[in-house]
Amino acid sequence: MGEKKVSLPAKLINGGVAGLVGVTCVFPIDLAKTRLQNQQGIQVYKGMFDCLAKTVRSEGYFGCYRGAAVNLTLVTPEKAIKLAANDVFRQKLSKDGHLPLWGEVLAGCGAGTCQVVVTTPMEMLKIQLQDAGRLAAQRPVSAAAQAAAPGPAPSLVAPPPQAQPAPPQRPSATSITAQLLKTRGLAGLYRGAGATLMRDVPFSMIYFPLFANLNALGRDSAGSQAETQARAPFWQSFAAGCSAGSVAAVAVTPLDVIKTRLQTLQKGEGEDTYRGIVDCTRRILEREGPSAFLKGATCRALVIAPLFGIAQVVYFLGVGETALGIFG
């Protein structure tokens, strides 16, 4: 049998639904990842659980979903492009229904490149919204550290009362977008595009071939790869997606740290700003050591594993095909 042709509308629906379900489930962990990666001097959070607990305490439960609206809006086209592009590239590179390893890697590379068009502005906006709470929490910590520092003896005369500064206004995706477009043009939304590409292309080159091979384990390899993938049971597609996602996520964590630092516009007290990928890499290595490149690695694995596990389940269940059959 020949390889089954890709129904692009169905693949787009599958990717979109998978993205919406996955992001809703794991967004709080992604928020913790961003805040942990951006910590440089003052350590507001000791780890993922400490970050989530302090976020709920200071910002409420829905504080863990700051930036989720942007992600939920743009994750549909992002995941749709990624999964559909990989599927199309795999078919184009297949010969007689079989795809060599170099073809799998090349298809993943193409998918990662295509998705950056949507991923970069989505990540740019999401990071500002996620990190706003860390910057707000850092101020009391900084003030307490300054108060504890040795200094001149306090005066016996009470100082005149000072007006309390107004709390900073919470940013919104709309205000950030308008400000970026006003001051930097469209290029402002694509700040860190090179770093995003540097992260997403290797991720896809690792993820898609690894998933395809894990998903084909234990079954007869006769016939096309599409037929082998189609025979995969529900649990195997989910496990393969989770496993491949975890491995790829941890592998590219150093690149994700660089991307997060470059795309963060507002810095805390004493935190570095960077001129580019090379400058960011050098400064992190010099000031924080090699271990800083693995900040948020556990969070990334916990985010990406279920995200891509859910994505592959939705993809292989054919939710898009069913939807087109009902409404088509």
Band (pLDDT 50/70/90 cuts) for residue 128 is very high
Task: Put residue 68 in one of left, alpha, beta given phi > 0 → left and psi -120 to 50 → alpha.
Answer: alpha
- Taking residue 112's Cβ as centre, other Cβ atoms within 10 Å add up to 26
Q: What is the torsion angle, in degrees rounded to the nearest 10, for the CA atoms of residue 323, residue 71, residue 200 and residue 3?
A: 0
CB contact at 8 A, 102 and 95: no
Dist. CA 153–CA 193, nearest whole Å: 51
Query: Tell me, what's the pLDDT at 3?
Result: 41
Residue 91 has pLDDT above 60, yes or no: yes
Q: What is the torsion angle, in degrees rounded to the nearest 10, for the CA atoms of residue 183, residue 185, residue 187 and residue 192?
A: 30
pLDDT tens profile 43-83: 899 999 999 999 999 999 999 999 999 998 988 888 778 87
pLDDT tens profile 129-186: 999 999 888 876 555 545 555 655 555 555 555 555 455 567 888 999 999 999 999 9
Q: What is the residue-averaged pLDDT of the chain? A: 84
**157 versus 20: which is more confidently predicted?**
20
Residue 281 has pLDDT above 90, yes or no: yes
pLDDT tens profile 253-279: 999 999 999 999 988 888 889 999 999
Three-state DSSP class for residue 70 = helix
Three-state DSSP class for residue 297 = helix
Which residues, at least 6 apart from 15, have a Cβ–Cβ distance to it below 8 Å?
Answer: 76, 79, 80, 81, 82, 83, 84, 311, 315
